[in-house]
Amino acid sequence: MRRLKRAANSVAVCSEIVTLLGCVGKNKVLMQTPSAPVVETRYGALAGFTDNDVHAWYGIPYAAPPVGNGRWRSPQPPARWEGLREATAFSPSCWQSSEYCQTLGGGDPGQFSEDCLYLNVWSPVDRATPLPVMVWLHGGGFTIGAGGLPPYNGTSLAGRGVVVVTLNYRLGLLGFFAHPALEGEEDRVVHNFALLDQIAALEWVRDNIAAFGGDPANVTLFGESAGARSVLSLLASPLAKGLFHKAIVQSGYTLPDTPREQALQKGEALAAHFGLKNATAEELRAIPPESLWPLTAPLNVAPAPIVGDCVLPEAMLDVFFAARQHPVPVMIGSNSDEASVMAVFGIDLAGQIQKLRRERRFGLGLIKLLYTGVKGDEELGRQVCRDMAFTTMGYVVMQAQQRVGGLCWRYWFDYVAEAEHATYVNGAWHGNEVPYVFDTLGQVEPSRQYVNERDLQFAAQVADYWVSFAREAGPREILPGPTHWPACRKGRDVLLRIGVNKHAAFRLENRFMRARMSLFKRVMKHHVSLD
């Protein structure tokens, strides 16, 4: 239980990932102070508040409420409002499990509503010129999370001279759904409503962020876990072209997209579960939202989008294998103990190796050659699961970027707070880098209880790298910092270790896990089963 509680900053990826081994109410009170900043957006005026040297605006609508007939439809622009709208409190979160989010997703998501398409903005008080914009997509397996959770507070990043945006998007079956009764309602095929929400938020940023001091021509999209998978999906989506100019992918995973046909079958099974054998669109939309999120396999959504709609006409992995992603600078990396998220969901890591031993001894022999010195089925399973599901994604993206002449920075996060080395024996858990990236380590639970000055100093350095990428990637091919961090141009395979053996250090490494990554990429590309 202690380990589970320690995972407060980890983000859930559902148990379907094992298949990889086979292949607060609306705003109420305006802070009546002279420091309440007012901005004029296309939809009306907003009054925020000031926190030290940073202005903030919470609960800004970026789309109309997706309720009633708006459920399972493309997001629409928000309605204009008259007068001054108070923007001092987070909006309700999208429907999810509060318990799961508090345990695994980074904090208490507060109240829930289908009316949840809101975003939050932080901007420095002192700004002379338009600033880089960083738009955050939270993780949570596409089933939990919210833009207003404590680890994602943008104050510290904004204090470094950027404008930070966090947002909610539809989750679970409200975010990803297909059913024959919904076909033909729009002039395009739509299943990935959550990704369309993210695209709508980026369109809002393009049209409005200048009023907050941001540069709409320099937008960095970044996210972790399902948020990282969203970034990868938008890099592959024709609908997101031109809406962001740089991308950061934190612990993106290789789980294949869900085929449209499978999603349609799942939609019919869900309708049957509610006694709607030949469901109409009206009957489907009448299902209470609180009845949808608790559903378990096989009715719940996989932690991957649906391929075959207007957002993803082609599978994300196939786009990167063919090097047809949007040509923007990319930073991508993962953590040293990503398999932690699988263990939390009860996946038997040692059991995966034992299965290989029974069914594919040749495959196991090859793996053992690549993992020399790794002893015991559990440790081998942990590393194989980690690399197959997470580490390989960075290698795939790097090679795709090199094929199109793009820039790619790769990292490996392996820092653990000094007081927690005995808890995180195998390294940094899934999601543990997030409060370092936002420099919120000393403000959120449980880390604020045990961090020391050296931990906080390291977090500040990590946040500096992320801001440097947003500010300078593209014109510059080397990011400044404790270790100058070069991009992987064609012919160069270099990675920055952020933390070394759990301790504070930054070190460049050439050809990181090259042989392992080549094997797993082949397995992914040719859909060869290992189980």
338 is catalytic: yes
CA 3, 9, 15: angle at the middle one, nearest 5?
A: 70
pLDDT at 526: 57
Question: Is 430 annotated as catalytic?
Answer: yes
8 Å CB contact between 452 and 473? no
Distance CA 68, CA 64 (A): 11
Q: pLDDT tens, 49-79?
A: 999 899 999 999 999 999 999 999 999 999 9
Cis peptide before 446, with omega less than 30 degrees from 0? yes
Provide the CB-side half-sphere exposure for 33 (13 A, CA): 10
Centroid of chain to Cα 2: 25
Q: Which helix (H) or strand (E) holds 167?
A: strand 163-167
pLDDT of residue 373: 85
How big is the chain by its Cα radius of gyration, in Å?
22
Given a contact cutoff of 8 angstroms between Cβ atoms, the answer to whether 151 and 434 are in contact is yes
The reported pLDDT for the residue numbered 427 is 96
Give the residues of the chain that fall short of pLDDT 50.
Answer: 1-34, 527-531
pLDDT at 440: 98
Selection from 341, 340, 339, 293 nearest residue 143 by Cα? 293
Domains parsed from the chain with CATH numbers = 2-256+311-526 (3.40.50.1820)
Token code pair at residue 511: 């050809």
Torsion of CA 409, 414, 416, 418, to 10 degrees: -100
DSSP output for 339-376: THHHHHTT--HHHHHHHHHHH-HHHHHHHHHHSTT--S
SS3 36: coil
Q: Name which of 426, 415, 481 is nearest 451 in CA terms.
A: 415
Distance in angstroms (rounded) separating the CA atoms of residues 476 and 469: 9
**Cα gap 32→504, rounded to integer Å:** 43
pLDDT at residue number 228: 98
Tens of pLDDT, residue by residue over 121-130, are 999 999 999 9
Closest CA to 220 of 231, 207, 212: 231
Active site residue 245: no
Position 3 scores a pLDDT of 43
Phi first, then psi: what are they for 251, rounded to 5°? Answer: 60, 45
- How much is the pTM? 0.92
- Show the 3-state SS of 70-138: HCCCCCCCCCCCCCEEECCCCCCECCCCHHHHHHHHCCCCCCECCCCCEEEEEEECCCCCCEEEEEEEC
- Which position among 55, 179, 191, 430 bears the catalytic label? 430
Confidence (pLDDT) at 49:
97
For 338-375, the pLDDT digits (tens) are: 998 887 777 888 888 888 888 777 778 888 888 888 88
Q: What single DSSP character describes residue 143?
A: T
pLDDT for the residue numbered 370:
87
Q: Which of 287, 239, 306, 231 is nearest to 114 (CA)?
A: 287
- List the catalytic residue out of 16, 86, 338, 420: 338
